[in-house]
Amino acid sequence: MKRVHCLTRLGLVCAGLLVAYGALMVHLYHLQVGRHEELHGKAQEKCLTSRPQLGRRGLLCDLLGNPLAGNLACKDILAEPKRFNAPRHEVIAVLARELKVSPVVLQARFARADTAGDRPVEVVVARQVDIRVAERLLEYQFSGLRFGDTYRRFYPRGKLLANLIGFLDEEGRGSSGIEQLMEGYLRPTSGRTVFERDRRGRRLESGIYRERQATDGWDVFVTIQEPIQQIVEDELAAMAQDFGPRAAYALMLNPATGAIMAWAQVPTFDPNDRKTMADPANWQNCILTHGFEPGSIMKGVSVAGALDYGVVSPNSQFYCEHGCWFYGGKPLRDSGHHYDTMTVSQIIQKSSNIGTAKIALAMGDKRLFQVLSRFGFGKAIGLGFREYGEGAPVLFPSEATGIFRDLDEWDTLSVTRFPIGQGVLVTPLQMVQAYASLANDGVMMQPYLVDHIRNPQTGEERYSVSVAKSRTVRPESARTIVQALKLVTREGGTAPKAAIKGYEVAGKTGTAQKWVSDPGGRGGSYAYDRCVASFIGFVPADDPAFVLLVVADEPTRGGSRYGGIVAAPAFSRMAERTLRYLQVAPVSGPMTADMRRAGGPTYGGEDTASQGLR
């Protein structure tokens, strides 16, 4: 009997042990198999660490490879004050001395970490610190300080081309200019290294190691050459100094290819110095975003259309009403001049408003609308990079279209006001594009800004190519208007100061009164004392190296507000220096097509090979 009890108890104990063992097995299965992923992940979290890899933002260079924007390697310094191995006041004193930051500021930052209880908190000590300074700080061997690799965008040419290049925001993304336009190419992709670490955080050679490589951004080469840009900026600044305009800008374009050659603006800013960006007028890109009433420089385009339709010939005569003509119940004046009968060429040369309005009337509003539409007014252009010219034009996010109303919105006066540049708002870029097509025998090229891009890691290069956009006028019409535009810079024209010794200059002056709205916002009038003075032209007239527009918005000094006085001399100086830089051979007289083919005559015995160098 006693033996039976003993066996029963033994059996029960064994059963209990078996059940416990079984439960243990089930639990183990649950841990090892059921929750494998979760627990394995947690374990790896303990011993794996990762470090970000920084890619380099692409460089911005001019056509010759001179860097316009690059990256300075630097360090972000962060601190975990609770881990300092030295008294806090000592660390603060060192940091304040090396980083030139107020100790009070550092004290306040570190105090924030104290409010977080036991949780470790990292505070920013300084961002984008020079690497040499960071190395000096490393030598102190403070624990609790962390140094992260980073880059700071640096613009070695300072103000040069600043409005076009743009700048980055706090996150390192392009927020204006080419930096924004080419963001997709310039931006690097960041990488990450994951590895198994030892107790001190060092990588275990035999442990897990995974790496996702960072890729650098593409380097971007613009079509602008630094020396030409410098010339244009210097002369624009001189003009601004002489005439004190509210703003001034100049744009140069190669009519044969559509490549932008210079892009200058006053006022401007230094992208390395944020203080110069306090006033938005300094960093806005007027050439792209600002529309202006072009005034008389529109006449060249309007008359080219009339010539193209065969409505007029260069010798067609128009009566200019002694300087004052009423049409649609409103007077149109010729700025104090009392012209009688003039030919079409003279109307351009003297810049007669009445003559141009009558030419436009002869053409009719439908044809005028078609002409101005063909020249691209009212449409955005898109200067962005198109690989080998493929795809749709890529627009600057801030590119303006100007204001060019549909035909059904035109009133009685429109046909007489639009051809003289009133009631139409154009961007400088649109106007240069229009004149470039006249200079290029009526073929409008797609303007472009990026010559090519290069992958710094693979060396792969992708190019832009010149693309003919459309035909604006027939070649004969273009050549005819060029002959008329040449008269503008000769004696008797409105801009003899735009002439350049040894070259023939074709161009047109503009002096547009600015529309000033009434205080109530209803209506307004043109102000006589607020003008936009401009000159647009190309040189050599028959085989142009470039088209150049110079605009002074509201000149206040210098005793004049006319385009022929304010902008034309600046045009002449810019063009003369640029021609010299490009070594374009001057001619002693008008150069015919035959002479061009023959390669002579040349001025001063110069080498004829300099032709066709553009």
Partner 1 sequence: MTVMTTNRTRPVLYRRVRVDPMAERRRLSLMSYVALVVLVPVFLVVLAYVKLSSDQVKLKRHLSELRHQFGLKGMERQNTELEVEMYRKGSRIFGQIQRLGLGLQMPQRGQVTRVRNGAPVPASGAAAEAIVAER
Task: Give the binding site for partner 1 (CB under 8 A).
Answer: 64, 66-67, 70-73, 131-132, 135, 154, 156-158, 160, 205, 226-227, 230, 233-234, 502, 580, 582-583, 586, 603-607, 609-610, 613
- For residues 430 and 486, give the distance between their C-alpha atoms in angstroms, rounded to a whole number: 21
Shorter beta-carbon distance to partner 1: residue 391 or 612: 612
| Distance of closest approach, residue 215 Cβ to partner 1, in angstroms | 18
| Distance of closest approach, residue 133 Cβ to partner 1, in angstroms | 12
Cis peptide before 496 (omega within 30 of 0): no
| Distance of closest approach, residue 613 Cβ to partner 1, in angstroms | 6
| Residue 75 contacts residue 147 (beta carbons within 8 Å) | yes
Could you tell me which residues come within 8 angstroms of residue 217 by beta carbon, excluding any fewer than 6 positions away? 55, 56, 57, 58, 185, 186, 187, 188
Within 13 A of 159's CA, how many CA atoms are on the CB side? 14
| Distance of closest approach, residue 385 Cβ to partner 1, in angstroms | 21
What is the helix (H) or strand (E) element at residue 332, kind and residue range? strand 330-333
| Distance of closest approach, residue 203 Cβ to partner 1, in angstroms | 9
| Residue 481 contacts residue 313 (beta carbons within 8 Å) | no
Place of tokens 């001179």: 66
What is the helix (H) or strand (E) element at residue 476, kind and residue range? helix 475-488
Shorter beta-carbon distance to partner 1: residue 148 or 558: 148
Shorter beta-carbon distance to partner 1: residue 423 or 456: 456
Shorter beta-carbon distance to partner 1: residue 532 or 587: 587
| Distance of closest approach, residue 607 Cβ to partner 1, in angstroms | 4
The Cα angle at residue 596 between residues 591 and 601, in degrees rounded to 5: 65
Burial of 123 (0-12, 13-18, 19+ CB in 10 A): middle
| Distance of closest approach, residue 132 Cβ to partner 1, in angstroms | 7
Rg (Cα) of the chain, in Å, rounded?
35
Shorter beta-carbon distance to partner 1: residue 429 or 579: 579
- For residues 396 and 429, give the distance between their C-alpha atoms in angstroms, rounded to a whole number: 12
| Distance of closest approach, residue 502 Cβ to partner 1, in angstroms | 7
Shorter beta-carbon distance to partner 1: residue 510 or 544: 544
Shorter beta-carbon distance to partner 1: residue 70 or 540: 70
What is the helix (H) or strand (E) element at residue 551, kind and residue range? strand 546-553
- For residues 252 and 228, give the distance between their C-alpha atoms in angstroms, rounded to a whole number: 9
Shorter beta-carbon distance to partner 1: residue 241 or 335: 241
| Distance of closest approach, residue 384 Cβ to partner 1, in angstroms | 24
Shorter beta-carbon distance to partner 1: residue 128 or 316: 128
- For residues 472 and 444, give the distance between their C-alpha atoms in angstroms, rounded to a whole number: 7
| Residue 336 contacts residue 368 (beta carbons within 8 Å) | no
